[in-house]
């Protein structure tokens, strides 16, 4: 009799927990702001023009490659997984008002879980859906942290690069234009004592990426002070911001 009552109690508890879990899941999904579903637009004909500043280093100092990038969402095409992906045409120009030449061809794909991009046949995960801002510390190893962090390089052989939304409703001014309801994504590689790294991206609804910043400084050369340990060939700064879009 006791075992039967215990078994019945456990079943009831399991059903209650399942119901609570479902209710929590439904509540979380309902709480996702509508604009966060629009930060990775896949519409055909969508165009964005950026200013890009790529800084590299050598033993004589730093140098900057400054150019303009035009991205255009083109037609759908099948990929090797049988999915219909959006062709992304990337153009480059030295001057904003001069002719653009094709720089590279990427593809994009979006479903209920990922905003995915394939660059030079390498699959990466710029965004994760649904979008939540839980303000979890990067060092938190809890289940919540595991759920809301993701690995940008999950589908390729590169080193793990953790990403997480650190804001989902920011008002941001880029190049004199103000954008509302922006999502901020921060990137964190596995920490190392010889590398300084900071990287973040900002996405706006119905536009996509409006700002990207990445700075990597490596200090692994023999030497006494920091300047002597600086490795120019492994260090760089990338800065890209939106100028116009349709």
List, for residues 167-197, the tens digit of each pLDDT value: 999 999 999 999 999 999 999 876 677 899 9
Q: What is the DSSP letter of 160?
A: P
Which pLDDT does position 174 carry in this prediction? 97
> Average of pLDDT values for 23-30?
42
Which pLDDT does position 18 carry in this prediction? 39
All residues at 6 or more sequence positions from 173 whose CB lies less than 8 Å from its CB, including other chains? 179
Look at residue 2 and tell me whether its pLDDT is greater than 60. no
Using alpha carbons, select from 191, 238, 200, 236 the residue that is nearest to residue 218.
236
Q: How far apart are CA 112 and CA 101, in angstroms?
A: 34
- Which element (helix H / strand E) includes 33? none
140: left (phi over 0), alpha (psi -120 to 50) or beta: beta
Look at residue 29 and tell me whether its pLDDT is greater than 50. no
Burial of 171-207, coded b for 16+ CB within 10 Å and e otherwise, reads: ebeeeeeebebbbbbebebeeeeebebebbbbbbbeb
Using alpha carbons, select from 74, 94, 96, 95 the residue that is nearest to residue 85.
74
Look at residue 40 and tell me whether its pLDDT is greater than 90. yes
Looking up tokens 């649904």 gives 130
Residue 142 CB-density burial (10 A; 0-12 exposed, 13-18 middle, 19+ buried): exposed
Look at residue 81 and tell me whether its pLDDT is greater than 80. yes
Helix (H, G, I), strand (E, B) or coil at 15: helix
Q: How far apart are CA 2 and CA 19, in angstroms?
A: 26
Task: Please report, for the chain, the start and end positions of each structural domain, with discontinuous segments joined by +.
Answer: 1-31, 32-245
- Which element (helix H / strand E) includes 220? none
Q: How far apart are CA 185 and CA 211, in angstroms?
A: 10
Return the number of other C-beta atoms located less than 10 Å from residue 3's C-beta.
7
C-alpha angle 48/52/57, rounded to 5°?
Answer: 160
Which pLDDT does position 176 carry in this prediction? 97
Q: How far apart are CA 184 and CA 180, in angstroms?
A: 12
Per CATH, the architecture of 32-245 is what?
Beta Barrel (2.40)
Q: How far apart are CA 218 and CA 89, in angstroms?
A: 32
Looking up tokens 């030497």 gives 223
β-bridge mates for residue 47, sequence order: 72
Among 17-26, 41-50, 178-187, the least confident range = 17-26
Mean predicted lDDT score pLDDT of the chain: 86
Q: Are strands 161-174 and 195-204 parallel, antiparallel or unpaired?
A: unpaired
């Amino acid at each position: 009799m006791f075992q039967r009552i215990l078994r019945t109690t456990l079943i009831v508890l399991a059903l209650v927990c399942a119901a609570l879990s479902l209710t929590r899941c439904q509540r979380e999904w309902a709480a996702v702001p509508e604009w966060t579903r629009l930060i990775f637009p896949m519409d055909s004909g969508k165009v964005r023009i950026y200013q890009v500043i790529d800084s590299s280093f050598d033993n004589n100092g730093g140098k900057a490659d400054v150019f303009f990038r035009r991205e255009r969402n083109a037609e759908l095409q099948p990929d090797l997984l049988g999915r219909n992906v959006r062709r992304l045409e990337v153009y480059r120009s030295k001057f904003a008002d001069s002719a653009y030449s094709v720089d590279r061809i990427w593809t994009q794909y979006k479903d209920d879980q990922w905003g995915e991009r394939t660059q030079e046949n390498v699959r990466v995960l710029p965004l994760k859906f649904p979008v939540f801002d839980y303000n979890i510390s990067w060092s938190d190893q809890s289940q919540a942290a595991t759920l809301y962090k993701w690995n940008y390089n999950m589908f390729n052989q590169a080193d793990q690069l953790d990403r997480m939304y650190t804001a989902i409703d920011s008002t941001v001014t880029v190049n004199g234009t103000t954008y509302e309801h922006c999502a901020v994504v921060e990137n964190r590689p596995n920490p190392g004592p010889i590398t300084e790294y900071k990287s973040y991206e900002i996405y706006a609804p119905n536009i996509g990426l409006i700002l990207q910043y990445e700075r990597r400084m490596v200090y692994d050369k023999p030497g006494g002070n920091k300047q002597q340990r600086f490795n120019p060939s492994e260090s760089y700064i990338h800065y890209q911001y939106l100028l116009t879009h349709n």
